[in-house]
Structure 1
């Protein structure tokens, strides 16, 4: 198995110069979020989160474009963001499939009461989750299995929400109508995330995935979110569960790397 440092250097070298620059800016942007909150006060985290999402989606697109080309990358972006947005519009009005919740007015701008940044966040994490599904399938001895790839990708995407939802509720970006078992989040929310992520993955049918750079994005998200929640946001419970949940998927994927 490749040594982690060697793999990191090899994967960084696979990125274009533009991609390398965006990656470094994204990491700095993630680090800057608590600094912005300390220096500018409450509400400044919205600036940091927005910058982080924009940089991460730019990074993901810079990874996909050289391999997939403009047409396929654009089609995937439209499908992922469009369906993610549609699921949020339906979900925030009907409670299906995530449970009853609604967005506050904190995140702006919004389209049909769903912040524009939300469907962008779907696109910034779905391709890294696909890479996890691809590598984890290989680790389980079923490389090329569409069913396993869909299930594992959806699990990888859902594991990210173990961090995300408690943090966003803590910042009052959205609210649940009824408190749930997972630090106030209803458990049905995670079933909804899994089902929607699986449906999007099945529809897009991602193949020829540039796995190593996208795995790097997932691994870094896993580590940076843990540091942020445990060291800065004082969300110890979600930080631990997110570290474990994404960690299981990350370790499984690592075992599938040639």
Structure 2
């Protein structure tokens, strides 16, 4: 099957199921994650790595389908480099404590690389970096042509997303730091690590994607940032359940940023004007 046909089918699948993917899945996921943490679901289902990865991949479909038409050799090379970087920096962090602090995975997230890092790590790692870059591109427009503005704005969103993610993940018992930390048991050093990751990611994504093509795709594909909606709903509610109010406020701020950017309406989860796929 030709690439364009595959992309077209994926595009239609996502458009026809936006509410299910962006809202229903994170709502159901929130209930199941909290139930697993509270021990009220069978052990065979509680944090089952295959169920977790399957659900995450469904919520990643908008990001995959949204960027698929832009993937060429240069983009593929850049993203492959980020895959290697994500594994490398995570292995460094787990084995040495730098740059994220002394932490460890407490729940199996699928097969492990060198018995230390989930092989599927990029599935969890990429969306923070990509969604941050895409959100800033959408909201800042021509101002993203300034490298200082691009780096500072994307880094701000990256840190904001991790300020939401890590407290919820720690509360669920996904991973944790040996000595805890000042921010909902997350140490400040963790965010130094994310600054490093963000700087590398902005550089790689800047060199990989054609800025004009990315702008056109964001303008014409109404669902490409739906993964950020899923993120805000799932981790906002998880943090709300555990009483982590600052992450809840930050998750709400991310959703409001999308709303103010006219990315979606809460009722129909659609833009007001129909969008067409990017020209191939």
Could you tell me which of 92, 113, 123 is aligned with 1:90?
A: 92
- Is residue 232–residue 252 contact of structure 2 (8 Å, CA) maintained in 1? no
Asked if 1:32 corresponds to 2:28, the answer is yes
Number of residue pairs matched?
A: 237
- Is residue 142–residue 148 contact of structure 1 (8 Å, CA) maintained in 2? yes
For residues 214-235 of structure 1, give each alpha carbon's deviation from its aligned partner in whole angstroms, at most 9, with x where no partner exists.
Answer: 34432442244323432xx324
Query: Structure 1 or 2: larger helix share?
Result: 1
What is the rounded CA distance, in whole Å, between the counterparts of 2:127 and 2:263 in structure 1? 22
- In structure 2, the partner of 1:120 is 123
User: 5+ unaligned residues in a row in structure 2: which ranges?
Assistant: 1-9, 265-280
Asked if 1:254 corresponds to 2:270, the answer is no
- Is residue 59–residue 230 contact of structure 2 (8 Å, CA) maintained in 1? no
User: 5+ unaligned residues in a row in structure 1: which ranges?
Assistant: 1-14
Q: CA separation of 1:104/1:76 partners in 2, compared to 1, >3 Å: closer, same or farther?
A: same
Q: CA separation of 1:166/1:185 partners in 2, compared to 1, >3 Å: closer, same or farther?
A: same
Q: CA separation of 1:31/1:84 partners in 2, compared to 1, >3 Å: closer, same or farther?
A: same
- Is residue 168–residue 238 contact of structure 2 (8 Å, CA) maintained in 1? no
Cα root mean square deviation, aligned: 3.1
- In structure 2, the partner of 1:174 is 175
Q: CA separation of 1:148/1:255 partners in 2, compared to 1, >3 Å: closer, same or farther?
A: farther
Could you tell me which of 214, 217, 231 is aligned with 1:221?
A: 231
The alignment's TM-score, normalised by the length of structure 2, stands at: 0.71
What is the rounded CA distance, in whole Å, between the counterparts of 1:252 and 1:190 in structure 2? 27
What is the rounded CA distance, in whole Å, between the counterparts of 2:17 and 2:78 in structure 1? 21
For residues 30-64 of structure 1, give each alpha carbon's deviation from its aligned partner in whole angstroms, at most 9, with x where no partner exists.
Answer: 12224435473466244554233212333212111
Asked if 1:234 corresponds to 2:242, the answer is yes
Q: Following superposition, which runs of at least 4 residues in structure 1 exceed 6 angstroms of deviation?
A: none
Tell which structure's C-alpha radius of gyration is larger.
2
The alignment's TM-score, normalised by the length of structure 1, stands at: 0.77
